[in-house]
Structure 1
Amino acid sequence: MTRATGGSSGLRRRILGLASAAILGLCSAAWAGAVRHGTPPRIVTLAPNATELVYAAGAGTDIVGTVLRSDYPPEARAIPRIGDGIQFSEEAILALHPTLVVGWQPTDGTRALEQRLAPLGVPLVYANPKSLDDIPALVRDLGERLGTRAAAGEAALSLERRIRALWPAPPPPQSVFIEISADPLYTLGRDPLTNDLLGRCGGVNPYAGSLLAAPQVSVESVLRLNPQVMILSPYGSETLAARRDWWARHGLEAARARRIYAIDPDWLHRPGPRLVDAAEAICADLREARTRQSH
Structure 2
Amino acid sequence: MALLWFVTALWAFSFSLIGVYLAGQVDPWFSAASRTVLAALVFLPILKWRTVKVSLAGKLMAIGAVQIGAMYGFYYHSFLYLSVPEVLLFTVMTPIYITLFNDIVSRRFHASFLTSAALATVGAITIRYTSLSEDFWVGALLVQGANLCFAIGQVCYKRLSNRYTFTHHQAFGYFFIGASLVLSVAFLLLGNHTALPSSPLQWGVIVYLGLIASGLGYFAWNVGTTRVSVGELAVMNNLLIPAGILVNVLIWNRQADLVQLAVGSSIMMAALFFSQRKVS
- TM-score with structure 2 setting the length: 0.28
More helix by share: 2
Q: Taking CA–CA contacts closer than 8 Å with sequence separation of 6 or more, which of the two structures ends up with the larger relative contact order?
A: 2
More strand by share: 1
- TM-score with structure 1 setting the length: 0.27
